[in-house]
Amino acid sequence: MREGDRDVPTEGPKSTVDLVMDRLQQQDADATGKAVILTDRQKEAIAAAKRDYAANVAEAEILFRSALMATVDPEVRQELEANHRRDLGQFVSARDKKIETARKVGESS
């Protein structure tokens, strides 16, 4: 990379939330052809949805692994795996619904 190609930040380093929000705004701009500006309240609601999702996934992983270690029966293990996949899908769905709701609240304002 040439020195002139680098962006020199004028502020401190961005937080993870800011980086994710920048990426989402770029995706929105690419999809709609215009930039979507999110309010601080929307950003916080989206970040909270992602935190809740991460916490739910972490808890489910711990419970799933614990249950797997407690059994050697292949049928029980298959059922546990199916339930775990279902739970993860529900977490994704809930997260995406919360994010979509947060985005729409700003559009109607």
- Number of domains observed in the structure of the chain: 1
34 sits in the region (left: phi over 0; alpha: psi -120 to 50; else beta) called beta
In a domain, 2, yes or no: no
Confidence band, pLDDT 50/70/90 cuts, at residue 1: very low
Answer yes or no: pTM beyond 0.85. no
In a domain, 100, yes or no: yes
In a domain, 96, yes or no: yes
Question: Residue 62 belongs to what domain range?
Answer: 40-108
Confidence band, pLDDT 50/70/90 cuts, at residue 48: very high
Q: Strand ranges (DSSP E) for 1-109?
A: none
Compute the distance between CA of residue 47 and CA of residue 16 in angstroms, rounded to an integer.
10
In a domain, 86, yes or no: yes
Mean pLDDT of 62-89: 96
Rounded to whole angstroms, what are the CA distances from 33 to 58, 74, 76, 103?
A: 36, 51, 49, 17
Mean pLDDT of the chain: 84
In a domain, 44, yes or no: yes
